[in-house]
Chain A
């Protein structure tokens, strides 16, 4: 009914957090990397604010497309109070229950997937720096 509101709320928080972190971040760290295991190039590391933006993109994108699905099914309407079941207390209780179960699980899973992307990108970054170190020692 309104499960997309939970990831949308998280999207607002991560967008604000990303902007605050970006304003406080120092200039990105410069490192030597090897992209093809044969040449070494100088590059700057992707700052955390940029990585946090990946999460807000996932959340904004997903919740906006899901909002469209709710409009499609008539659960979200373009007039106040925007939720079609808003005048029935029993349906409102069901809506909050859905937000607490489906919505929270959506937000948690998207965040977990982003955590996985961060872990993999960390490994890739370390591998690129390590192979550059090996090439420089040769």
Chain B
């Protein structure tokens, strides 16, 4: 479930990036790289897990599935927080800078 959640987040971010590129200054690319990187790594983890427990991998207990989905959502939230911090620090639109400084008349 964590893998699926992250893959869907990666696909959604990539679609948003494509729709808003090349003019967007929102740095959606960072989110894409982050979620795709995590998806690839979790995919490898899933393959090794499948090699270990075979078909049981596809029949998790409902409680495990729910916990894994909760983990997936938390990972997506953490990714969004990291992206938001990078966006505010880099401030490509100058919004933070203009909030900190007042123009002199």
Contact = CB atoms under 8 A, between A and B. Distances in A.
Given A61-B79, A64-B82, A68-B78, A54 B41 contact: no
Given A62-B40, A109-B43, 16 more contacts: A4-B41, A7-B37, A60-B34, A61-B34, A61-B79, A65-B37, A65-B38, A68-B75, A68-B78, A69-B75, A72-B74, A101-B48, A106-B44, A109-B44, A110-B37, A110-B40
A65 B6 contact: yes
B45 A58 contact: no
B40 to A, nearest CB: 5
How big is chain B's contact interface, by range? 20 to 34
A66 B38 contact: yes
Interface residues of A, number: 24
B33 A113 contact: no
Interface in A95-133: 101-102, 105-106, 109-110, 113
Interface in B60-78: 71, 74-75, 78
Highest count of chain B CB atoms <10 Å: which of A3, A63, A72:
A72
Interface string B84-100: 00000000000000000
B4 to A, nearest CB: 14
Nearest to A7: B41
B95 to A, nearest CB: 23
